[in-house]
Amino acid sequence: MLQPNGTVTSWMDGAPQRKPEPVPQADGRVGVESSVRVGVPDGRIAKLVDGPRGKYAVISMPNGHVLGAIDLKRPSTQNDGWTYELVRDGKRVRFVVIDGKGGGNSWVYDVDGRLIEKYTVEAPKPAKSHARVVASGGGAASAGAAGLGFAVVPARG
């Protein structure tokens, strides 16, 4: 991967690094909170945070405008057809991004910001049906038409 400063790294070297930050707690002690910024497929930014108050994510536009935040108590939010979720997988927490506008493709990140899985939904193939729908002559419609006054009739020829 070519970096802005001209250096080249492998995809493993280029994984986002967490930045630890001291966070004051309610009891006066200072805990360590770390965060990583991830560019998600819709062009937005997710800040994944792990600290004394738990794991959470803040989703924002590239210009910094915050669109929403999620945590393990409120694990999901939607914006413009995209869904963002924090999912508990045993002891681990995953950040999931789902493209609701594009058919359901999804990306799964660990809390360190590494892409660990990607799911691609194949476009449905058109059905090769040789049946035609015609209006029923009244009375009982076919069961497949759920009583809507239509019957499925096999095509001839």
Instruction: Name which of 87, 78, 141, 83 is nearest 116 in CA terms.
Output: 87
Q: Domain spans of the chain?
A: 19-119, 126-157
The per-residue pLDDT of the chain, averaged, comes to: 76
41-52 pLDDT, tens per residue?
Answer: 999 999 999 988
Instruction: Give the pLDDT score at 139.
Output: 46
Q: CB-based burial of residue 20 (10 Å sphere; 0-12 exposed, 13-18 middle, 19+ buried)?
A: exposed
> DSSP class of residue 77?
E
Instruction: Give the pLDDT score at 88.
Output: 93
The residue ranking higher by pLDDT, 17 or 121, is 121
133-157 pLDDT, tens per residue?
Answer: 554 454 444 444 444 444 444 555 5
